[in-house]
Chain A
């Protein structure tokens, strides 16, 4: 991506970037996403992957990064810290992928020195949570349009019930009730 000074905030203020990420500020997320993809892509391409795989791994890493910021597990202070963090997660995920069952036979046929980084540092409970997250994401896509719109506005867009009620021309109480029902539906899909 080209540098475009007019379009970007500076991260001089740690609180502002954290806040922007937490409230899913579109420009902030876009800038972080676009600024850091190429480096990961180069890494994956150099290590037996293709561009599509680079995109998948990068997006997984991006979700992990974003989630960790939301949970205050990662508090970046600079652009560079964010870039390094995304790169490390993506690299570890890619190493895991290469070590996975599909690639196992590789290890026995060829000795490779390029695949020795510290990928085993992830804890198993995080893996289980991650799996449920993935299931939730898939289940969300299967929800009806009304639920998707409402949940998107409330949980992702951080809009208030009143705002949403106005936009959807509904009573706030119905919005609130519908939100509950939609989440209940999602829960039944993921945690049977």
Chain B
């Protein structure tokens, strides 16, 4: 009985002594002489727990160094002259903010984000809504070409332009889930929740759609924006989005 308890204790991750730590360190940094090294390697070969510890420290030493390197790399990166595309990306959020602010103030386009400071559901929506990254825009022919042109707009976050290009296509192919999904997400991104909902619904209704799971998530966000928490919770629960749990725990 006594021995058993002791064994169980051993299986937990126990501390290692400073002496053993330094031995492993010496070994991994190649600071042992040939005899000591051979001796230690024999011990490793005979002791699986020791072998495991050595492996652990190998990763820990490398990881600690890599963590410092990560900081250095960011410094190296910051010193490089930005390319035009980088410059554009860096300035965009500011621009977008300014445009958003002026649009909100001047036209009050629904004005929904004006209130997002106070409304907890709006805040959650803003926190969790991120448009789908979109599809690769390989150039095809005819309609595929039109679709791709819209995708180029979509990926450069020009959702209004994407909606304009896709609307005629969508009328011809109302059951197409790819179109339905990206129309829905684009509308949601522009704040037009009411119009987004039926598009996302057509995708959700299509049982075998590859977009169904993501559509459930976005539809949940749509209802969240409309303060329909019951429906939002049901849809988000049905999705398997990676941020599902985080959002659910915030839903009240």
Contacts and interface: CB of A to CB of B under 8 A. Distances in A.
Contacts of B135: 106, 109-110
A190 B215 CA distance: 36
A140 B63 CA distance: 8
7 contacts: A102-B133, A103-B133, A106-B136, A133-B63, A135-B63, A136-B67, A180-B22
A24 B60 contact: no
A86 interface: no
Contact of A108 (B70, B137, B210): B210
Contact of A186 (B60, B86, B134, B211): B60
Interface string B88-117: 010000000000000000000000000000
A66 B210 CA distance: 39
B13 A192 contact: yes
Contacts of B133: 48, 102-103
Interface of A: 1, 24, 26, 29-30, 33-34, 37-38, 41, 45, 47-48, 50-52, 55, 59, 62-63, 66-67, 70, 98, 102-106, 108-110, 112, 114, 129, 132-137, 139-141, 151-152, 155-156, 176-177, 180, 183-184, 186-188, 190-192
A67 to B, nearest CB: 6
6 residue pairs, one from A and one from B, having the closest CB atoms: A136-B63, A140-B67, A105-B210, A156-B68, A137-B67, A33-B76
Nearest to B148: A110
Chain A interface main SS type:
helix
A137 B66 contact: yes
A155 B15 contact: no
B70 A109 contact: no
Interface in B126-166: 133-138, 155
Interface residues of B, number: 42
Contacts of A102: 133
B59 A132 contact: yes
Contacts of A98: 136
B64 A186 contact: yes
A70 B237 CA distance: 46
B60 A34 contact: no
Interface in B41-90: 56-57, 59-70, 72-73, 76-77, 79-81, 83, 85-86, 89
Contacts of B73: 33, 59, 62
A29 B65 contact: no
A41 B60 contact: no
Contacts of B11: none
A136 B64 contact: yes
B210 A67 contact: no
B16 interface: yes
Interface string B153-186: 0010000000000000000000000100000000
